[in-house]
Every structure is written in structure tokens, then in C-alpha cells.
Amino acid sequence: MFVNYLVTFYDADPAGVIFFGNTFRIVHYSLEKCMNSGGLYDDFFNNEIYTYPVKQTSADFKKPLSPGQEVKIKFSILEIRESSFSCEFTIYNNDNNVVAVVNTVHVCLEKKTGNKKPIPENILQFIKNI
């Protein structure tokens, strides 16, 4: 699944390139767009029973990005386990070059107890088909 994003002035550091921390915000934006496209925004982000925090993340930055650049973010699932799943976000610039690759691992927790729980079926079916 692909999501488009315009790198904004807000995303940049004083040198005029994207601040590394904002890359994580941008890929989270693409996760939100993907869940919304599947009709699962509220089930994933506003669920009364479960939460899906990021428990691990990494990023490999290959080229700088500047405000005004349109990027394309490819969202894919690398691995699905009973109570967690791994995502990869590959960010491409206008020339279709990879500028960054971000990986995240999300775990399904019951809000009330904080214990790991199996990923609910509707979320599981959606991420299996990404």
C-alpha cells in the first residue's frame, strides 16, 4: 500500500533537511492512512479494549529530504505473530529513489491489564492483505 506525503517546512531542521525524528511521525501518518483506508481507524487507534504501541523501531536514512518534496511511502507487513506485527515503511523521493527505510514492531495489549493479547481478527485479516 502506498501513501503520498508532502515534506513541510515544519518537518525540517535548521539546515533545511528533514529532522530525523519527524520521519517517524511521517511513517505513523502513513499507518493511520492505511488503517483508515481499511475502515479500521477507530478499531486500531481509538479502541476501548486494545492498544497497539510501538515496542521497537529502527530507521536507515539513505538520502536527505527537504521541504516541498513529495514523497511516496510504501507500507508493508514483514511478519505477523499472535500478539504483534512488524511493519516496513520505505520512503521514495520524486525520482523513485529510496531515501529512508523505517521498521516498527507493534504489540497488541489489553488496555485494562497491559497484558499481551492476540491481534483481533478484523485487524489481523486487514494486515494479512497489505
- 124 touches 80 (CB < 8 A): yes
Q: What is the pLDDT of residues 40-62, one digit of tens each?
A: 999 999 999 999 999 999 999 99
Domain ranges of the chain: 2-128
Residues 6+ apart with CB under 8 A from 89: 27, 30, 31, 73, 74, 75, 101, 102, 103, 104
Q: What is the pLDDT of residues 87-111, one digit of tens each?
A: 999 999 999 999 999 999 999 999 9
The yes/no answer on whether domain 2-128 falls in CATH 3.10.180.10 is no
Whether the pLDDT of residue 14 is over 90: the answer is no
State the pLDDT at residue 13.
86
Among residues 22, 1, 9, the alpha carbon closest in space to that of 99 is found at 22
How much is the pTM? Answer: 0.92
